Amino acid sequence: MSRRVLVTGGGSGIGRALARGFAEMGDAVTITGRRMAALQETDGGRGMECREADVTDEAQVAALFEAPYDVVIANAGGGSAGKLRTVSLADWNATLAVNLTGTFLTFREALRGMGTGGRLIALASTASLKGGATIPAYAAAKHGVLGLVRSVALEVASKGITCNAVCPGFVDTPLAAQAVASVKDRYGLSEAEALAQVVAGNPMGRLVMPEEVVAAVVFLASKEASMVNGHALSVSGGEI
């Protein structure tokens, strides 16, 4: 039976891969984001429902849930690099808003109608599980996401709903490409040298592939994962 699946931040990167993965399994997929053109590119004729929405806006998030979803994936997120002394209050607030508040609003609305067997899944990060000298706001926000996931998991367990997080390392997406370019420019390295520095924390020495993240999320959304609850699944080659 086809499930109703919501993926926030579905216009690029991991969100795009997730949306296409669930659509290919025959699920009815709704994707959200702030740019309709990007959402339509993700769809590419696959029959997804594309909804413009900013996950930091309470009313816009609420409007997504006219009908309940079986699987809700809070994927929208982002943040800029910079040591704590250089982080402005505006950047700090914006990073917490999109990563943590956005997940809170998405999960809160999802639970108003979600029934037994429902799945709440947050795309967190290895930054949920460790610090980072140049990502203090992002790491703090993602630690908060994991705390939210663990708390919600306890709340919904008796209702037959699960809440989990997937925590990837650096994934082969445009964001990773930006990180490689930044390192290349900052230190005057070749692209290969910059990539090696970016993936240095991964014992396998490479970027995580988007389909590897999709596989982890698909498992957590499955009925076979009904006893996996409040878990942080690291997809990072042993980094964590």
pLDDT of 183-199, one tens digit each? 899 899 999 999 999 89
pLDDT tens figures, 47-73? 999 999 999 999 999 999 999 999 999
Q: Where are the domains of the chain?
A: 4-170+209-235, 173-207
80 pLDDT band, cuts 50/70/90, is: confident
Task: Kindly state which CATH superfamily the domain 4-170+209-235 is placed in.
Answer: NAD(P)-binding Rossmann-like Domain (3.40.50.720)
Whether pLDDT at 15 is above 80: yes
CB of 165 within 8 A of CB of 231? yes
Please tell me the predicted confidence (pLDDT) of residue 7: 98
Give per-residue burial for 63-72: e unless 16+ CB within 10 Å, then b.
Answer: ebbeebbbbb
- The single-letter DSSP state of residue 2 is P
Mean pLDDT on 21-44: 98
pTM comes to 0.96
Mean pLDDT on 26-51: 98
* Total H helices, total E strands in the chain: 9, 7
Structure tokens at 196: 């090696």
Whether pLDDT at 114 is above 90: yes
131 pLDDT band, cuts 50/70/90, is: very high
**Phi and psi, residue 47, nearest 5°:** 90, 20
- What average pLDDT does the structure give for the chain? 96
Residue 4 to residue 132: CA distance in whole angstroms: 36
CB of 48 within 8 A of CB of 33? no
Q: Which residues are catalytic?
A: 138
Q: Which helix (H) or strand (E) holds 212?
A: helix 210-220
Q: Which of these, 150, 53, 151, lies nearest to 106 by C-alpha position?
A: 53
CB of 221 within 8 A of CB of 121? yes
